[in-house]
A and B are shown apart, each in its own frame.
Chain A
Amino acid sequence: MADPAVRVEGLRVRRDGNVVLRDLSIAVREATVTGLLGPSGSGKTTLMRAIVGVQIVEAGEVVVLGRPAGSPELRRSVAYVTQAPSVYLDLTVRENLVYFARVLDAPHDSVEEAIRTVGLGEHAAQVVRTLSGGEQSRVSLATALLGDPELLVLDEPTVGLDPVLRRDLWNTFHELAERGATLLVSSHVMDEAERCDELVLLREGAVVAAATPQELRERTGRDDLEQAFLVLAEGA
């Protein structure tokens, strides 16, 4: 089997004195959409930050695309979308993307393509501050699509989006995976688990299960993934 896109071993992270991740190990397979699921406070964001390499960690190893997380060589190939829309509110959608594209040295066409993908074509010339919350987070998501990253780490990218757009975005995620990109997508809504190739269930900073949706159903005997999660969480 090929090397995983992300390999985390024995990761321990402490934030403000509390242990947020306790000796956590996972592997994310290349060219898949892997869902990171768990209740809020389970450590999803911290794990993502560690994979992107912006988190100071206490112990453990995080290897991304064959290099230690946060290596300078990864800054072009790993894209990260935080929950807060990390874009300039006083610039237009297009101005934001043009700037980030120039930082990433991404071709100019990728700007218009990213805007189309997140469905903001009509708002491209609008100042981000005047957009709704959901639209603002789509600008942030569009930024992550620039420059064909090999790994996309997306922290709850579909929160507050209407169902049609949510479906379209999940289709986009799968298209990206088919073209070879690896996506790690967090969510606290179990109905999104269904759309992932692989799942990592987190609870209180530890992995409850890592499997495909089908394997989870077989292992727990529950059709509903939310029920399956409960069985695993309470059995743990």
Chain B
Amino acid sequence: MTPRITLATTSRVLRQIVRDRRTLALLLVVPPLLLTLFKYVFDGQEATFDRVAGPLVGLFPFITMFLVTSIAMLRERTAGTLERLMSMPLAKLDLLVGYGLAFAALAAVQASLTSAVAFGLLDLDTEGPVWVVFLIAIANAVLGMALGLFLSAFAQSEFQAVQFMPAFVLPQILLCGLLVPREDMAPLLELASYALPLTYAYDALARATAGDTGGRFALDVAVVCGCVVLALALGATTLRRRTP
């Protein structure tokens, strides 16, 4: 791995996103707007809003970065730029970390804006410190990016790639405990939820916003970090120097 190449990749990826003004606007504006929507869907139910909105600030980056990376990486694969890079002195880690840094930076901006709106305008009230939510948001962004990168290898078109969102992300959101506590689900689903990375991400966020940053919280964070490493390793296996 070469820092020069990694950082060049980060700045190239950021430049591509910044150049696409509409995508950038959607990335930054949609999460605060959705939170506002939540606020008035749960009109007058302050406690419910507080329980759901805090973790959501940290979950949005997972969803958006998953989507953006799966499309961006699919383009690299189909346009031949990935093959070109693989024939150059670029290590697979340069590409993975380069993308990771770019999306972590983007997630930081996204999470700041969402938190500002949630805490500043929507009177979101949480027990725990905001910066913990912020850090988990960034970890989630990298997790989403790594999973998107891995899954992009299995899509032949952008149509297929966008369908991975409902196929791989929605079930995780349904099962992570955000909507219904996991112990109230059918036992089989509760069991399944243990195998999904977003469960731990949500659990960490729920604990952090409730002010519980003890041992269980640390374990959740460790699992999320482990999943990031695993997803990056899986992603790396799909970057091939030689193809049939």
Contact = CB atoms under 8 A, between A and B. Distances in A.
Partners in one complex: yes
Interface of A: 15-16, 52-56, 70, 72, 75-76, 78, 80, 82, 84-91, 95, 99-100, 102-105, 127, 143
B81 A102 contact: no
Contacts of A88: 12, 16, 79, 81
> Which 10 residue pairs are nearest across A and B when measured between Cβ atoms?
A86-B80, A102-B8, A75-B89, A86-B84, A99-B12, A56-B242, A84-B80, A56-B244, A90-B16, A86-B81
Interface in B52-79: 79
B169 interface: no
Given A75-B87, A86-B83, A54 B243 contact: yes
Interface of B: 4-5, 8-9, 12, 15-16, 19-20, 79-81, 83-90, 241-244
B15 to A, nearest CB: 6
A105 B4 contact: yes
Interface centre among A53, A70, A102 (most CB of B within 10 A): A102
A119 to B, nearest CB: 21
Contact of A103 (B5, B16, B80, B83): B5
A88 B14 CA distance: 13
A83 to B, nearest CB: 9
Nearest to B23: A90
A75 B88 contact: yes
Contacts of A70: 241-242
Contacts of B85: 103
A80 B80 CA distance: 11
A7 B89 CA distance: 22
Given A52-B87, A54-B87, A55-B243, 19 more contacts: A16-B244, A53-B242, A54-B86, A54-B241, A54-B242, A75-B88, A82-B83, A82-B84, A86-B83, A88-B12, A88-B16, A90-B19, A91-B16, A95-B12, A99-B8, A99-B12, A102-B8, A103-B88, A103-B90
